[in-house]
Amino acid sequence: MTATNARTTPDNATQESQTMTTETADTTPSMPQPSRRLLKIRFDYQPTTPAIEALTPEKAHRALDRARSDYLDKRERLKQASGELARLQKTVSAAEAQERQAGKSWRRAFLEGAGQQGREVRDQQKQAGQWRIEAEQKREMIELLTPQVEWLKLHTQLAREEFQRRLRAAQEVTTHHTLLAEAEKLFDGLESGAFRASLSGLFSRISDDLCNDVSYMLQYGLDVSSQPGEGIFTHLNDREGFAVRHEIRKRQYAALGELVWHLLPKTATEQPTALQGIAPLDCEANGKEWGSSLARRRRMKELEETMEYVPGKTQQ
């Protein structure tokens, strides 16, 4: 085995990565689409994100598939190189132990033979030399491979972070669109006349309840012991009236959300396979190994300056 054999060859890693990608990456899942009218609504209590603002589910899933494939490919190359480095390190340790044992054996045989350089002495000396050469060769390979493994580890970490960003974006966009579409479908099929009338009655009770709340209205210096209901607005200025109406609307939303929450099944549901994360391998970095983005770029440059072969950059 020569020192140049320590390079990581991509063929097997690429094949395995492609297999993993095929197994884990689904095509964009089909999902009901909300109406444009619903998508244009600016909800007060549904946090939005840049992904929800900019992406459709299809675009989010295509970007996720690319990021997943890139991450799996890079980490498979890292796995292969890390495994080879560990094997070389074990080989060096074993060769050093064998060299020490052979050295001890020939010295003992030499002394027991009163200085005679018999066959046993020569054989043990030869073995010690062979083990020493083996250890030196493997140490040279380790020296060549170590910066490449760190380089692959750094690239894998960057790919993993991109995958996690794309995964989070796809989850946000998918859940947002699915929630709107399913809610719209639910209410489209609802006997909505009776429901709307009942909901209107609930909202009126909530409004009266707040307007007749003695402790709440004390902040405005009003006595509502006579239970005036919404008639209290005639005693509020514009700013105060706006604040009370805003609080009423919040409580109405909360009441509707509470009803939906109690009607929802409480069984746990899993994310679709395409939206599930991927556990890191033991050979991957912990994410804090190099610090800031600037420190990462600096370390990448340092590694490439020491590497005889940079994957994807060194000309054959």
3-state SS, the chain, equals CCHHHHCCCHHHHHHHHHHHHHHHCCCCCCCCCCCHHHHCCCCCCCCCCHHHHHCCHHHHHHHHHHHHHHHHHHHHHHHHHHHHHHHHHHHHHHHHHHHHHHHHHHHHHHHHCCCCCCHHHHHHHHHHHHHHHHHHHHHHHHHHHHHHHHHHHHHHHHHHHHHHHHHHHHHHHHHHHHHHHHHHHHHHCCCHHHHHHHHHHHHHHHHHHHHCCHHHHHHHCCCCCCCCHHHHHHHCCHHHHHHHHHHHHHHHHHHHHHHHHHHCCCCCCCCCHHHCCCCCCCCCCCCCCCCCHHHHHHHHHHHHHHCCCCCCCCCC
Say whether pLDDT at 177 is over 50: yes
CA-based end-to-end distance of the chain: 20
Two structure tokens written together for 270: 């899993």
Do 28 and 177 fall within a single domain? yes
Confidence band, pLDDT 50/70/90 cuts, at residue 214: very high
Two structure tokens written together for 306: 């020491």
Confidence band, pLDDT 50/70/90 cuts, at residue 7: very low
Residue 276 covered by a domain: no
Q: What is the pLDDT of residues 250-295, one digit of tens each?
A: 999 999 999 888 988 877 777 788 888 999 999 998 878 888 889 9
Residue 315 covered by a domain: no
Do 61 and 149 fall within a single domain? yes
Q: CA-to-CA distance for 210 and 206, rounded, in angstroms? A: 6
| pLDDT for the residue numbered 29 | 61
| pLDDT for the residue numbered 185 | 83
Greatest Cα pair distance, the chain, in angstroms, is: 120
Q: CA-to-CA distance for 286 and 149, rounded, in angstroms? A: 15
Q: What is the pLDDT of residues 147-173, one digit of tens each?
A: 999 999 999 999 999 999 999 999 999
The answer for residues whose C-beta is within 8 angstroms of residue 1's C-beta and 6 or more apart is: 137, 141
Neighbours of 133 (CB within 10 A): 12
Do 50 and 198 fall within a single domain? no
Do 10 and 72 fall within a single domain? yes
Residue 103, domain extent: 1-189+282-309
184-204: average pLDDT: 81
Residue 316 covered by a domain: no
Span of 11-20, 103-112, 282-291 with lowest mean pLDDT: 11-20
Q: What is the pLDDT of residues 220-245, one digit of tens each?
A: 999 988 889 999 999 999 999 999 99
Do 48 and 184 fall within a single domain? yes
Residue 71 covered by a domain: yes
Residue 271 covered by a domain: no
Residue 275 covered by a domain: no
Do 303 and 167 fall within a single domain? yes
Span of 73-77, 96-100, 229-233, 284-288 with lowest mean pLDDT: 284-288
Do 165 and 129 fall within a single domain? yes
| pLDDT for the residue numbered 315 | 66
Do 97 and 148 fall within a single domain? yes
Do 152 and 219 fall within a single domain? no
Do 129 and 6 fall within a single domain? yes
The number of domains in the chain is 2
Do 83 and 72 fall within a single domain? yes
Q: CA-to-CA distance for 210 and 204, rounded, in angstroms? A: 10
Residue 41 covered by a domain: yes
Do 127 and 165 fall within a single domain? yes
Residue 273 covered by a domain: no
